[in-house]
Amino acid sequence: MKNIGVVLLLAMSVCGAIAQEGLVRMNGEVAREMPWTGSVRVDLLGEAAMSRGPAAGGRADSMGHAGGKSPWLAAGMSLVVPGAGQAYNGDYWKTALFLAVEVGAWALAYHYDKKGDQQTDYFQGYADEHWDVVQYGQYTEGNLKPSRPPYNWRIPGTEGRPPWEQVNWAELNRMERDIGGYYSHTLPPHGEQQYYELIGKYPQFNQGWDDADLSLPPNYDVIKANLTPQFTYYAGERGKANEYYSSATTYVTIALVNHVVSAIEAAWSAPRDNGVHAEAGLQVVPTQFGMTPVPVMRVQYTF
Protein backbone atom coordinates (compact mmCIF):
# COMPACT_ATOMS: atom_id res chain seq x y z
CA MET A 1 0.00 0.00 0.00
CA LYS A 2 2.88 2.37 0.75
CA ASN A 3 4.39 1.74 -2.71
CA ILE A 4 1.07 2.46 -4.35
CA GLY A 5 0.85 5.71 -2.41
CA VAL A 6 4.30 6.82 -3.58
CA VAL A 7 3.48 6.02 -7.21
CA LEU A 8 0.22 7.95 -6.98
CA LEU A 9 1.95 10.97 -5.46
CA LEU A 10 4.53 10.98 -8.26
CA ALA A 11 1.79 10.67 -10.84
CA MET A 12 -0.03 13.60 -9.26
CA SER A 13 3.12 15.73 -9.47
CA VAL A 14 3.45 15.00 -13.18
CA CYS A 15 -0.21 15.79 -13.76
CA GLY A 16 0.23 19.04 -11.88
CA ALA A 17 3.14 20.05 -14.06
CA ILE A 18 1.14 19.34 -17.20
CA ALA A 19 -1.74 21.37 -15.87
CA GLN A 20 0.59 24.30 -15.10
CA GLU A 21 1.67 24.52 -18.73
CA GLY A 22 -1.99 24.97 -19.60
CA LEU A 23 -1.46 24.62 -23.39
CA VAL A 24 -3.07 21.88 -25.42
CA ARG A 25 -2.55 21.39 -29.16
CA MET A 26 -5.74 20.59 -31.02
CA ASN A 27 -5.64 19.85 -34.85
CA GLY A 28 -2.23 21.52 -35.09
CA GLU A 29 -3.38 24.74 -33.49
CA VAL A 30 -2.81 26.16 -30.01
CA ALA A 31 -5.98 25.89 -28.00
CA ARG A 32 -6.90 28.06 -25.08
CA GLU A 33 -5.61 27.13 -21.60
CA MET A 34 -7.58 24.21 -20.08
CA PRO A 35 -6.95 24.19 -16.29
CA TRP A 36 -7.52 21.06 -14.19
CA THR A 37 -9.89 22.07 -11.44
CA GLY A 38 -10.20 18.83 -9.50
CA SER A 39 -8.08 17.30 -6.75
CA VAL A 40 -6.35 14.02 -6.13
CA ARG A 41 -6.05 12.44 -2.70
CA VAL A 42 -4.68 9.31 -1.10
CA ASP A 43 -6.52 7.92 1.91
CA LEU A 44 -3.85 6.97 4.44
CA LEU A 45 -6.16 4.33 5.85
CA GLY A 46 -6.06 2.50 2.56
CA GLU A 47 -8.43 4.08 0.04
CA ALA A 48 -7.35 6.07 -3.01
CA ALA A 49 -9.83 8.22 -4.86
CA MET A 50 -10.20 11.18 -7.16
CA SER A 51 -12.83 13.75 -6.27
CA ARG A 52 -14.36 16.08 -8.83
CA GLY A 53 -17.02 17.50 -6.46
CA PRO A 54 -19.53 16.59 -3.79
CA ALA A 55 -21.52 13.40 -3.97
CA ALA A 56 -25.02 13.79 -5.27
CA GLY A 57 -27.51 14.63 -2.57
CA GLY A 58 -24.95 15.24 0.19
CA ARG A 59 -22.96 18.06 1.74
CA ALA A 60 -19.26 18.22 0.98
CA ASP A 61 -16.24 19.38 2.92
CA SER A 62 -13.08 20.91 1.44
CA MET A 63 -11.75 17.47 0.51
CA GLY A 64 -14.93 16.48 -1.29
CA HIS A 65 -16.47 14.30 1.45
CA ALA A 66 -20.19 13.79 1.45
CA GLY A 67 -21.60 14.97 4.79
CA GLY A 68 -23.36 12.61 7.25
CA LYS A 69 -26.36 13.02 9.49
CA SER A 70 -26.27 15.24 12.58
CA PRO A 71 -25.69 13.08 15.69
CA TRP A 72 -27.16 15.77 17.96
CA LEU A 73 -30.39 15.99 16.00
CA ALA A 74 -30.66 12.20 15.81
CA ALA A 75 -30.10 11.86 19.57
CA GLY A 76 -32.61 14.59 20.41
CA MET A 77 -35.29 13.02 18.24
CA SER A 78 -34.82 9.59 19.79
CA LEU A 79 -34.71 11.01 23.30
CA VAL A 80 -38.22 12.38 22.74
CA VAL A 81 -39.59 9.47 20.67
CA PRO A 82 -37.48 6.29 20.64
CA GLY A 83 -36.81 5.25 17.06
CA ALA A 84 -37.27 8.74 15.60
CA GLY A 85 -33.52 9.31 15.34
CA GLN A 86 -33.12 5.92 13.70
CA ALA A 87 -35.76 6.87 11.12
CA TYR A 88 -33.82 10.10 10.49
CA ASN A 89 -30.70 7.98 9.93
CA GLY A 90 -32.58 5.67 7.56
CA ASP A 91 -32.27 2.67 9.92
CA TYR A 92 -35.89 1.64 9.70
CA TRP A 93 -35.58 -1.80 11.25
CA LYS A 94 -34.04 -0.14 14.33
CA THR A 95 -36.92 2.33 14.32
CA ALA A 96 -39.37 -0.57 14.47
CA LEU A 97 -37.40 -2.23 17.27
CA PHE A 98 -37.23 0.83 19.55
CA LEU A 99 -40.87 1.73 18.90
CA ALA A 100 -41.94 -1.83 19.68
CA VAL A 101 -40.08 -1.75 23.01
CA GLU A 102 -41.60 1.67 23.81
CA VAL A 103 -45.18 0.68 23.04
CA GLY A 104 -44.82 -2.69 24.77
CA ALA A 105 -43.25 -1.23 27.93
CA TRP A 106 -45.89 1.47 28.38
CA ALA A 107 -48.71 -0.96 27.62
CA LEU A 108 -47.46 -3.39 30.26
CA ALA A 109 -46.86 -0.56 32.75
CA TYR A 110 -50.48 0.57 32.32
CA HIS A 111 -51.75 -3.00 32.56
CA TYR A 112 -49.98 -3.73 35.85
CA ASP A 113 -50.83 -0.33 37.31
CA LYS A 114 -54.52 -1.00 36.66
CA LYS A 115 -54.22 -4.46 38.20
CA GLY A 116 -52.57 -2.86 41.23
CA ASP A 117 -55.45 -0.38 41.55
CA GLN A 118 -58.03 -3.15 41.30
CA GLN A 119 -56.18 -5.30 43.84
CA THR A 120 -55.89 -2.32 46.19
CA ASP A 121 -59.64 -1.70 46.01
CA TYR A 122 -60.18 -5.38 46.77
CA PHE A 123 -57.93 -5.70 49.83
CA GLN A 124 -59.08 -2.39 51.28
CA GLY A 125 -62.68 -3.48 50.94
CA TYR A 126 -61.81 -6.78 52.58
CA ALA A 127 -60.20 -4.95 55.50
CA ASP A 128 -63.18 -2.64 55.96
CA GLU A 129 -65.43 -5.70 56.14
CA HIS A 130 -63.32 -7.93 58.40
CA TRP A 131 -61.07 -5.75 60.57
CA ASP A 132 -62.67 -3.85 63.45
CA VAL A 133 -60.78 -1.02 65.16
CA VAL A 134 -63.32 -0.99 68.03
CA GLN A 135 -62.66 -4.69 68.72
CA TYR A 136 -58.92 -4.00 68.57
CA GLY A 137 -59.25 -1.07 71.03
CA GLN A 138 -61.37 -3.03 73.49
CA TYR A 139 -58.96 -5.97 73.51
CA THR A 140 -55.99 -3.63 73.94
CA GLU A 141 -57.46 -1.71 76.87
CA GLY A 142 -58.93 -4.76 78.60
CA ASN A 143 -55.94 -7.09 78.33
CA LEU A 144 -52.81 -4.96 78.24
CA LYS A 145 -53.74 -2.57 81.08
CA PRO A 146 -52.18 0.69 79.80
CA SER A 147 -50.62 2.81 82.53
CA ARG A 148 -52.44 6.17 82.33
CA PRO A 149 -56.20 5.70 82.21
CA PRO A 150 -58.77 6.79 81.43
CA TYR A 151 -58.47 6.52 77.65
CA ASN A 152 -61.49 8.11 76.04
CA TRP A 153 -60.82 6.54 72.63
CA ARG A 154 -64.46 5.49 72.09
CA ILE A 155 -66.70 8.36 70.98
CA PRO A 156 -70.06 8.27 72.84
CA GLY A 157 -73.23 8.14 70.74
CA THR A 158 -71.57 6.70 67.65
CA GLU A 159 -72.87 3.17 68.03
CA GLY A 160 -74.17 1.78 64.75
CA ARG A 161 -71.70 3.73 62.64
CA PRO A 162 -68.76 2.10 60.87
CA PRO A 163 -66.10 1.19 63.47
CA TRP A 164 -63.61 3.78 62.24
CA GLU A 165 -66.17 6.52 62.84
CA GLN A 166 -66.52 5.54 66.51
CA VAL A 167 -62.89 6.15 67.45
CA ASN A 168 -60.98 9.15 68.77
CA TRP A 169 -57.67 8.39 67.08
CA ALA A 170 -55.56 10.68 69.29
CA GLU A 171 -56.69 8.82 72.43
CA LEU A 172 -56.27 5.42 70.79
CA ASN A 173 -52.70 6.30 69.79
CA ARG A 174 -51.94 7.58 73.32
CA MET A 175 -53.04 4.23 74.70
CA GLU A 176 -50.84 2.34 72.21
CA ARG A 177 -47.80 4.46 73.11
CA ASP A 178 -48.35 3.90 76.85
CA ILE A 179 -48.35 0.15 76.32
CA GLY A 180 -45.11 0.17 74.33
CA GLY A 181 -43.26 -3.15 73.98
CA TYR A 182 -44.52 -5.16 71.04
CA TYR A 183 -47.14 -2.44 70.53
CA SER A 184 -44.47 -0.83 68.40
CA HIS A 185 -46.80 1.11 66.10
CA THR A 186 -49.66 3.54 66.47
CA LEU A 187 -52.57 3.00 64.12
CA PRO A 188 -53.02 5.77 61.52
CA PRO A 189 -56.56 7.01 60.84
CA HIS A 190 -58.79 4.89 58.64
CA GLY A 191 -58.32 5.42 54.90
CA GLU A 192 -54.60 6.18 55.00
CA GLN A 193 -52.23 3.87 53.16
CA GLN A 194 -50.40 3.05 56.39
CA TYR A 195 -53.66 2.03 58.08
CA TYR A 196 -54.19 -0.70 55.49
CA GLU A 197 -50.56 -1.73 55.57
CA LEU A 198 -50.12 -2.04 59.35
CA ILE A 199 -53.22 -4.11 60.11
CA GLY A 200 -51.93 -6.89 57.85
CA LYS A 201 -48.26 -6.59 58.73
CA TYR A 202 -47.79 -6.52 62.52
CA PRO A 203 -49.14 -9.12 64.99
CA GLN A 204 -50.07 -6.22 67.27
CA PHE A 205 -53.19 -5.77 65.12
CA ASN A 206 -54.11 -9.45 64.91
CA GLN A 207 -56.92 -9.13 67.47
CA GLY A 208 -58.84 -6.70 65.29
CA TRP A 209 -59.76 -9.39 62.73
CA ASP A 210 -63.22 -10.80 63.18
CA ASP A 211 -61.95 -14.41 63.33
CA ALA A 212 -59.48 -13.65 66.16
CA ASP A 213 -59.58 -15.67 69.36
CA LEU A 214 -60.06 -12.91 71.92
CA SER A 215 -59.45 -15.33 74.78
CA LEU A 216 -55.73 -15.51 74.00
CA PRO A 217 -53.54 -13.69 76.50
CA PRO A 218 -51.74 -10.55 75.34
CA ASN A 219 -48.39 -12.23 74.74
CA TYR A 220 -46.38 -11.34 71.67
CA ASP A 221 -45.23 -14.88 70.98
CA VAL A 222 -48.69 -16.32 71.45
CA ILE A 223 -50.25 -13.72 69.16
CA LYS A 224 -47.57 -14.20 66.52
CA ALA A 225 -47.98 -18.00 66.64
CA ASN A 226 -51.75 -17.71 66.31
CA LEU A 227 -52.22 -15.24 63.48
CA THR A 228 -55.74 -15.57 62.21
CA PRO A 229 -56.46 -16.98 58.71
CA GLN A 230 -57.92 -13.63 57.75
CA PHE A 231 -54.74 -11.82 58.83
CA THR A 232 -52.65 -14.20 56.69
CA TYR A 233 -54.98 -14.04 53.71
CA TYR A 234 -55.19 -10.26 53.82
CA ALA A 235 -51.40 -9.93 54.03
CA GLY A 236 -51.09 -12.05 50.87
CA GLU A 237 -53.68 -10.03 48.96
CA ARG A 238 -52.01 -6.76 49.91
CA GLY A 239 -48.70 -8.25 48.77
CA LYS A 240 -50.19 -9.00 45.34
CA ALA A 241 -51.05 -5.33 44.88
CA ASN A 242 -47.50 -4.35 45.76
CA GLU A 243 -46.17 -6.85 43.23
CA TYR A 244 -48.40 -5.41 40.50
CA TYR A 245 -47.22 -1.88 41.25
CA SER A 246 -43.61 -3.08 41.31
CA SER A 247 -44.07 -4.63 37.86
CA ALA A 248 -45.59 -1.39 36.58
CA THR A 249 -42.61 0.56 37.91
CA THR A 250 -40.21 -1.89 36.25
CA TYR A 251 -41.83 -1.39 32.84
CA VAL A 252 -41.82 2.40 33.23
CA THR A 253 -38.09 2.13 33.95
CA ILE A 254 -37.62 0.00 30.83
CA ALA A 255 -39.43 2.65 28.77
CA LEU A 256 -37.21 5.44 30.12
CA VAL A 257 -34.06 3.40 29.52
CA ASN A 258 -35.32 2.76 25.98
CA HIS A 259 -35.34 6.54 25.38
CA VAL A 260 -31.72 6.87 26.51
CA VAL A 261 -30.44 3.81 24.63
CA SER A 262 -32.25 4.90 21.47
CA ALA A 263 -30.71 8.38 21.72
CA ILE A 264 -27.18 7.00 22.20
CA GLU A 265 -27.56 4.54 19.34
CA ALA A 266 -28.96 7.22 17.01
CA ALA A 267 -26.07 9.57 17.79
CA TRP A 268 -23.52 6.83 17.22
CA SER A 269 -25.08 5.67 13.95
CA ALA A 270 -25.72 9.13 12.47
CA PRO A 271 -22.26 9.79 10.90
CA ARG A 272 -21.49 7.40 8.07
CA ASP A 273 -17.72 7.60 8.58
CA ASN A 274 -17.22 7.43 12.33
CA GLY A 275 -13.65 7.43 13.52
CA VAL A 276 -10.35 8.90 12.39
CA HIS A 277 -9.93 9.76 8.71
CA ALA A 278 -6.54 10.84 7.37
CA GLU A 279 -5.69 11.93 3.83
CA ALA A 280 -2.74 13.29 1.87
CA GLY A 281 -2.98 14.65 -1.63
CA LEU A 282 -2.59 17.49 -4.11
CA GLN A 283 -5.16 20.21 -4.48
CA VAL A 284 -4.94 22.19 -7.72
CA VAL A 285 -5.40 25.89 -6.97
CA PRO A 286 -5.11 29.01 -9.13
CA THR A 287 -2.10 31.25 -8.47
CA GLN A 288 -0.45 34.18 -10.26
CA PHE A 289 1.67 31.61 -12.09
CA GLY A 290 -1.29 29.57 -13.26
CA MET A 291 -2.88 26.41 -11.85
CA THR A 292 -0.49 24.99 -9.28
CA PRO A 293 -0.72 21.69 -7.36
CA VAL A 294 -0.47 22.25 -3.60
CA PRO A 295 0.25 19.43 -1.12
CA VAL A 296 -2.62 18.90 1.32
CA MET A 297 -2.71 16.86 4.53
CA ARG A 298 -5.98 16.40 6.37
CA VAL A 299 -6.86 14.48 9.54
CA GLN A 300 -10.38 14.58 10.90
CA TYR A 301 -12.41 12.78 13.51
CA THR A 302 -16.08 12.41 12.82
CA PHE A 303 -18.76 11.65 15.36
Q: For strands 275-287 and 290-302, give the pairing.
A: antiparallel
pLDDT given for residue 273 in this prediction: 43
Residue 29 pairs in a beta bridge with 26
pLDDT given for residue 147 in this prediction: 87
Do 140 and 124 belong to one domain? yes
The count of other CB atoms within 10 Å of the CB of residue 54 is 14
pLDDT tens, position by position, 81-109: 999 999 999 999 999 999 999 999 999 99
pLDDT in tens for each of the 303 residues of the chain? 444 443 344 444 443 443 344 333 334 443 344 344 455 554 544 443 334 344 334 444 433 333 567 999 999 999 999 999 999 999 999 999 999 999 999 999 999 999 999 999 999 999 999 999 999 999 999 998 888 999 999 999 999 999 999 999 999 999 999 998 889 999 999 999 999 999 999 999 999 999 999 988 776 666 666 889 999 999 999 999 999 999 999 999 999 999 999 999 999 998 754 454 556 666 666 766 666 666 766 656 555
Torsions phi, psi for 302 (to 5 deg): -110, 140
Do 258 and 297 belong to one domain? no
Report DSSP state, residue 206.
G
Do 204 and 277 belong to one domain? no
Do 18 and 88 belong to one domain? no
Do 86 and 50 belong to one domain? no
Do 125 and 97 belong to one domain? yes
What range does the domain containing 162 cover? 70-270
